Amino acid sequence: MHVVIGGAHNGKREYVREILAGEQVEWIEAGACSRLPQSLSGRVVLAGIESYLSANHENEETAMEDVFRFVQAADREKLTIIVTDIGRGIVPADPHERWLRDVCGRLNQRLFREAGRITRIWYGLAQELK
Partner 1 sequence: MVRGTLVFISGGVRSGKTAFAESWLGNRQAGRLVYVATGRPADEEMNSRIRRHRRDRDARPEQWETIERPLDLPGILPRIHEGDALLIDCITTWLANEMYEGIESGLPCHSRTGCIEKKVSELLGALSEMTDKASAVVVVSNEVLDEPLPSAADIRAYSEMLGRIHQKLAAMADVAYEMDAGMPLLRKPGNGGIA
Binding site residues, partner 1, CB under 8 A: 7-11, 50, 85-90, 92, 97, 100-101, 122-125, 127
Which DSSP letter does residue 2 get? Answer: E
The smaller minimum CB distance to partner 1, of residues 87 and 116, is found at: 87
- Least Cβ distance, residue 69 to partner 1 (angstroms): 25
The smaller minimum CB distance to partner 1, of residues 80 and 108, is found at: 108
C-alpha closest to that of 85 among 1, 3, 5, 11: 5
How buried is 14 (Cβ within 10 angstroms: 0-12 exposed, 13-18 middle, 19+ buried)? exposed
The smaller minimum CB distance to partner 1, of residues 12 and 78, is found at: 12
- Least Cβ distance, residue 76 to partner 1 (angstroms): 27
Helix pair 49-56, 60-73: axis angle to 10 deg: 130
- Least Cβ distance, residue 72 to partner 1 (angstroms): 28
Instruction: Give the total residue count for the chain.
Output: 130
